[in-house]
Structure 1
Amino acid sequence: MMLRNLLKPGINIKRWILLGIVGVSILVFGIFELINKEYHSLPKIVLSALIIVLGALIIYVAIIQIIKFFIILVNTGSIDVAISSKKFEDLIYEKRVLIKGPKIVVIGGGTGLSTMLRGLKKYTNNITAIVTVADDGGGSGVLREDLGILPPGDIRNCILALADTEPLMDELLQYRFKDGRLKDQSFGNLFLAAMDGISNNFEEAVQKMSSVLAVTGRVIPVTLDNMTLKAKLKNGNIIDGESNIPKGVIDNKSPIDEVFIEPTDARALKEALVAINEADAVILGPGSLYTSIIPNILVKEIRNALYKTKSIRIYVSNIMTQPGESDNYTVNDHIKAINRHAKGKVVDYVLVNTGKISSELELRYRNDNSNMVIINEEEIKKQGIGIIRSDFVKIGKGHIRHDTEKLATILVETIMEKKLFNDKKKIGEYFYLSQRLKENKKNN
């Protein structure tokens, strides 16, 4: 009924939808021309920038006009947006619970981090994701090299994980071009690159994109400095660049001794430090040990904040080892690597997987030099670290992943037990979270 009302003759909204599509096309064309090195010259760069601005302006005008028409249709009764009293009450209750949720800071990068965020946002609005900017491969690497911006890939994934968007919009922003010079480039990366072009810095671009997509919480790059990750291998060789490290380890047949960043004095964002200081819990991972988690704590101000915070610090251990990065590592080896690079203890509790996988899937992973991470409880306890066990395994398209719902539930239960319940000021939050946990477990 709504679609019929919107498209019937005389409404004139179709022209603005068409204009918006034209604006998107112009914007993408402008970005494409800007990153095309073949014909780079000052006039070409200026022209491309003007095309990008024109495209953004057209999109803005189209959106404003569509909103105006929507308001007119609502006021004239052409579109029924009535909400049942029961649904309205549920909406208020949900917002009431989420606003009172714990303050959670997550630190890392990669798909593991965004997977966890999708679950956590069901329990709290107070989420801050501090994301690595060491990525130099794939579409992010191309944009980093051509436009001089920080890599947008991990940031984009976290924004989408926390966004309140329709499935179609999510699919659009994750879409990768299949042909031409934009092949394998994500539309979401281009969107963030365009935002960076009309912003004062990358942090502002992330904030603007988060605002457009109605993000729950905040997504913050760990630094605005052009950070490069390097690895020193046991044989003394240095591997330059995050994307080259796993392959470098395999080619050299020598494991990682340590990783480090350049510049060594990279500065953290003030908002990230404040968030860690005020958090009820700081969660490290899940994600690649040396290329997603550790790069963040190599920023000196971040690791200092982790020392000083009164929050509980939780590490989510990987389910499988990663070839060329954590070969044959146990859970304890992961923790020791984190604390060694942090130059002190920054983990209070570790979440470990007790779930099993089929022998067929285990064999397939073993053929790719990947094994289930062994827990070795006694060694972990010797470091004074609490162990939280659960079955987190979820199989998707033949790959082993953390189960989003189970992971979020066990994390929130841990925060309630270890932090909120022992803090008189947090008892109200404890009550609301208990209700939400009961509801989610019932629904699942």
Structure 2
Amino acid sequence: MLEMLPNAQQWERGPKITAIGGGTGLSTMLRGLKKYTRNLTAVVTVADDGGGSGVLRRDIGMPPPGDIRHCMEALANVEPIMQRLLTYRFTEGGLAGQSFGNLILAALNGVTGSFEEAVSQMSQVLAITGRVLPVTSADVQLEAVFENGARVVGESKICDVKKQQDCRIHHVELIPAKPKALPAALEAIREADLLLLGPGSLYTSVIPNLLVAGVPEAIRESDALKIYICNIMTQDGETEGYTAADHLEALMDHGARVDLCLANSAPVGEGLVERYRAEDAAPLVVDRERISAMGLELVERPVASEGGDYARHDPDKLAAAVLELYRQRAVRIFRGKNRYIIEE
């Protein structure tokens, strides 16, 4: 059952939620969460080097805007024509493949002189609910180290090299190592009532945030309820053969600590399963005993979208499940200065 949407006063005073990740998984979840609270912050990776974001990164030296833009699109409160403009992708000429939303961010980056300020200004233009913050303003690249010792630098290259090596990713690193976190991102983590990691690509969307100085420590020290939201499917070129527990182990190996794992319980349609099988992907296996042995709570809810060409989370079902868990497991006790301590 979906949670009842709050009235205006409840929405204004809703829980402080900080969601950490990147890619389409994070933006999908934000579309649902923004209906429950205005106190919403997305902390987003900036390690992407492919597609239109990669072009802007190489050509004008700005951080990749793609994941940031996706989150702002999800949280925007604008007319339909503006939504269409943000997502419009050029098909011809030198701009082929480039998103109009990326170009707006690139222009603001030039006008304001900093990517952080560009994101802030675009957030105001779009009247977004909450905030979107890059996890760092540093120019970083993602490096994957495979179990056989092979290495590759560049987020966009990991998938192909993993297939060539035919072995799992052992860990990922940022170059330069441990870049300085955006102070506002660390503050959002420390002040949260509820911390969410995922859904999204494990090694290229979620974990890169944990490699920024201070982020894993802020997560561990936070009093918030911490939930990892499992992907619905494994990912070709990244997590083939992984179970839910494998995802959690990878997170912990990179410094994360969570209290609870939320997994989808709705079946994936046979047609979609066949389609994903052709791409070496499959529905994520939830290995309950291993997760229990790790000392983590597991909750399974039907949060997958019904129909469609892809197996993705339903924004409303996922947000409702997250808020239900928060209300069931967290007691908010006022400690002053608008700070709430989460106690089981």
Q: TM-score, normalised by structure 2?
A: 0.94
1:155 aligns with 2:68: yes
Match of 2:42 among 114, 119, 129: 129
1:324 aligns with 237
**Could you tell me how far apart the structure 1 residues matched to 2:179 and 2:333 are?**
38
**Could you tell me how far apart the structure 2 residues matched to 1:253 and 1:395 are?**
33
Q: String of CA shifts for 1:114-170, please: whole Å, max 9, x gaps.
A: 000000000000011000000000000000000100000000010111110112111
Q: String of CA shifts for 1:287-324, please: whole Å, max 9, x gaps.
A: 00000000000112111101110101100000100011
> 8 Å contact 1:131–1:221 — kept in the other structure?
yes
1:61 aligns with none
1:335 aligns with 2:244: no
Matches within 5 A, 1:184-333: 184-333=97-246
2:283 aligns with 372
1:346 aligns with 2:253: no
Structure 1: stretches of 5+ with no match in the other structure: 1-92, 427-444
Which structure would you say has the larger RCO, counting Cα contacts within 8 Å and 6 or more residues apart? 2
More helix by share: 1
Runs (4+) of structure 1 exceeding 3 A deviation are none
Q: String of CA shifts for 1:352-397, please: whole Å, max 9, x gaps.
A: 1111122222122112110111111111011111111111121454
**Could you tell me how far apart the structure 1 residues matched to 2:188 and 2:269 are?**
41
What is the Cα deviation at residue 276 of structure 1?
0.9
Q: Which amino acid aligns with 1:307?
A: R
> 8 Å contact 2:178–2:211 — kept in the other structure?
no
2:3 aligns with none
Structure 2: stretches of 5+ with no match in the other structure: 1-5, 336-344
Match of 1:423 among 298, 315, 332: 332
Q: Which moved more, 1:323-332 or 1:395-404?
A: 395-404
1:398 aligns with 2:330: no
**SS, match of residue 316 in structure 2:** helix
> 8 Å contact 1:255–1:324 — kept in the other structure?
no
Report the count of equivalent residues. 331
What is the Cα deviation at residue 94 of structure 1?
3.7
Q: Which amino acid aligns with 1:362?
A: V
2:320 aligns with 409
What is the aligned-residue identity percentage? 48
Structure with higher Rg: it is: 1
1:170 aligns with 2:74: no
**Could you tell me how far apart the structure 2 residues matched to 1:105 and 1:189 are?**
23
Matches within 5 A, 1:41-120: 94-120=7-33
**Could you tell me how far apart the structure 1 residues matched to 2:176 and 2:138 are?**
8
Match of 1:389 among 300, 305, 308: 300
**Could you tell me how far apart the structure 2 residues matched to 1:181 and 1:235 are?**
40
> 8 Å contact 2:41–2:131 — kept in the other structure?
yes
